[in-house]
């Protein structure tokens, strides 16, 4: 999965500094048993939205796919605040500023929003952690509000839907398939 993220971050001709992931889809078709060959495709690219597909292949067969919907030149929406919702939700994890910086380094993600004093957790980092904790092979995550470093993240499970909450804000919703 990390190698797929590295391939995604190396796509030519796309400047996503300051942009943020609105939605991401990931599916694993085969377990990684050897080195994959990666192919990127820009499906759509305008001043507000960029859609990129990145696929990993093993011996010409698709092993995993990642589709990223990047919002460009858009301000973050106002928080969707909930009072005392943390009492009903399960503490999932806290992304440290050091982990965020390390993930940027490992994946080649140079977006400045991840490298500030108050860094935003990478959408792909959240995706990776959700896949690992749920063992999901197919997942779609919609990001509503940024998760910031050193803030606890709480989850609520409702069937195949996982909702993430941090710093009094609804942050993401994941559908497991």
pLDDT value of residue 144: 95
Residue 71's contacts (CB-CB under 8 Å, 6 or more residues apart) are: 19, 20, 21, 22, 48, 49
- 2-176: which CATH topology? Thiol Ester Dehydrase; Chain A (3.10.129)
Give the residue extent of every domain in the chain: 2-176
Distances (CA, A) of 51 to 21, 29, 58, 102: 10, 21, 24, 25
Apex 27 CA angle, 166 and 66, nearest 5: 75
Q: What is the pLDDT of residue 92?
A: 97
Pull the structure tokens for residue 45.
């690219």
Q: Which whole number is the average pLDDT over 86-115?
A: 91
Q: What is the pLDDT of residue 85?
A: 58
> Which pLDDT band, with edges at 50, 70 and 90, does 72 fall under?
confident
| 44-66 pLDDT tens trace | 998 889 999 999 999 999 999 99
Length of the chain (residues): 177
- Whole-prediction pTM: 0.89
Reading the block at residue 73, the tokens are: 């030149």
Name the one residue in this structure whose structure tokens are 């092979």: 137
The whole-number average pLDDT for the span 131-149 is 96
Backbone angles phi, psi at 143, to 5 degrees: -100, 125
Bridge partner list, 143: 172
pLDDT of residue 11: 77
Mean pLDDT for the stretch of residues 140-165? 96
* Residue 109, number of CB atoms within 10 A of its CB: 21
Instruction: Please state, in angstroms and rounded to a whole number, the distance separating the CA atoms of residues 23 and 69.
Output: 5
3-class secondary structure per residue, 119-162: CECCHHHHHHHHHHHHCCCEEEEEECCCCECCCEEEEEEECCEE
**CA pair distance 156, 172, nearest whole angstrom:** 11
Alpha helices in the chain (DSSP H): 2-9, 97-107, 123-134
Q: What is the mean pLDDT of residues 105-115?
A: 90
């Amino acid at each position: 999965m990390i190698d797929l993220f590295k391939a995604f971050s190396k796509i030519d001709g796309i400047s996503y500094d300051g942009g943020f992931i609105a939605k991401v889809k990931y599916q694993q078709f085969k377990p990684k048993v050897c080195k994959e060959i990666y192919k990127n495709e820009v499906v759509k690219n305008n001043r507000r939205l960029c859609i990129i597909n990145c696929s990993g292949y093993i011996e010409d067969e698709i092993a995993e796919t990642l589709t990223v919907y990047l919002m460009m030149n858009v301000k973050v929406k106002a928080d969707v605040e909930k009072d005392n919702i943390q009492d009903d939700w399960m503490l999932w994890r806290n992304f440290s500023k050091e982990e965020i910086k390390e993930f940027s380094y490992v994946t080649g993600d140079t977006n400045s929003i991840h490298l500030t004093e108050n860094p935003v957790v990478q959408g792909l980092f959240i995706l990776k952690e959700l896949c690992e904790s749920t063992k999901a092979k197919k997942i779609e995550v919609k990001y509503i509000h940024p998760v910031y470093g050193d803030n606890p993240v709480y989850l609520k499970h409702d069937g195949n839907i996982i909702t993430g909450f941090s710093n009094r804000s609804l942050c993401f919703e994941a559908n497991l398939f």
